[in-house]
Amino acid sequence: MQKAIYPGSFDPVTFGHLDVIQRASRLCDAIVVAVANNDGKKSLFTIEERIELIQEATSGNEKVVEVTSFDGLLVDFARAQGALAIVRGLRAISDFEFEFQMALMNRKLDPTLETIFLMPTEEYTYLSSRIVKEIARLHGDVSAFVPKAAAAALATKFSA
Ligand code: PNS
């Protein structure tokens, strides 16, 4: 069983994340989507909300065996899950430096764990949860960037 972890903040999940999950599911037998609980970022959505939005968006993908949160080091979570690899999306050169640093640090922490970078379709190269939140906060249309449930949840958050 080739299991991979797809970790992230997912605040909220976007079509870019879903594109990466789709690509990963062609390579792996099982994918665990792992929402980081302690990455120090102030998030708009609670962990439970983020998990629910991902679950809803991936319910048709049988390779996604679990959507859960994790505390502590990613490598410890991946080891506990029996995963062989960490999947990360790489959109542009601007992602590279941080991703490279993280991948090499994770390798130092656990040399048995590989990081696999997958590039989402070009259409989503510019897409990020941060930009989507900004658009939603200013009451713009985000339906081309996030699943329906996430668009509705964003509208509710910024309805005041
Ligand atoms: O979606 P993001 O915010 O880019 O995801 C970053 C994430 C959650 C994958 C990263 O911050 C992480 O792995 N956090 C867990 C703590 C950890 O293991 N830190 C050391 C990484 S070298």
Active site residue 91: yes
CA 37 to ligand 1 center in whole angstroms: 9
pLDDT for residue 94: 85
**Model confidence pLDDT, tens digit, residues 3-25:** 999 999 999 999 999 999 999 99
Best residue among 33, 50, 71, 74 to mutate for probing ligand 1's pocket (most ligand atoms within 8 Å of CB) is 74
Q: What is the distance in A from the centroid of ligand 1 to the CA of 159? A: 30
**pLDDT at position 39 over 70:** no
How much is the average pLDDT of 94-107?
96
Domains of the chain and CATH, by start: 3-125 (3.40.50.620)
Q: Is 23 a catalytic residue?
A: no
Distance separating alpha carbons of residues 69 and 8, to the nearest angstrom: 10
Question: Which strands make up the sheet holding 85-89, listed edge to edge?
Answer: 64-70, 30-36, 3-8, 85-89, 114-118
pLDDT tens column, 52-90: 999 999 999 999 999 999 999 999 999 999 999 999 999
Q: Taking the CA of residue 108 as centre, how many other CA atoms within 13 Å lie in the half-sphere pointing to its CB?
A: 6
The pLDDT confidence band at residue 38, using thresholds 50, 70 and 90, is confident
Query: Residue 41 — very low, low, confident or very high, per pLDDT cuts 50/70/90?
Result: confident
Cβ pair 81, 3 in contact under 8 A:
yes
Helix (H) or strand (E) holding 67: strand 64-70
17-45: average pLDDT: 94
pTM equals 0.97
Task: Tell me: pLDDT of 115 over 70.
Answer: yes
Average pLDDT, the chain: 96
pLDDT at position 149: 98
Q: Does the annotation mark 50 as catalytic?
A: no
Tokens matching residue 35: 């929402």
Contact 5, 32 (CB under 8 A): yes
Tokens read off for 86: 């960490």
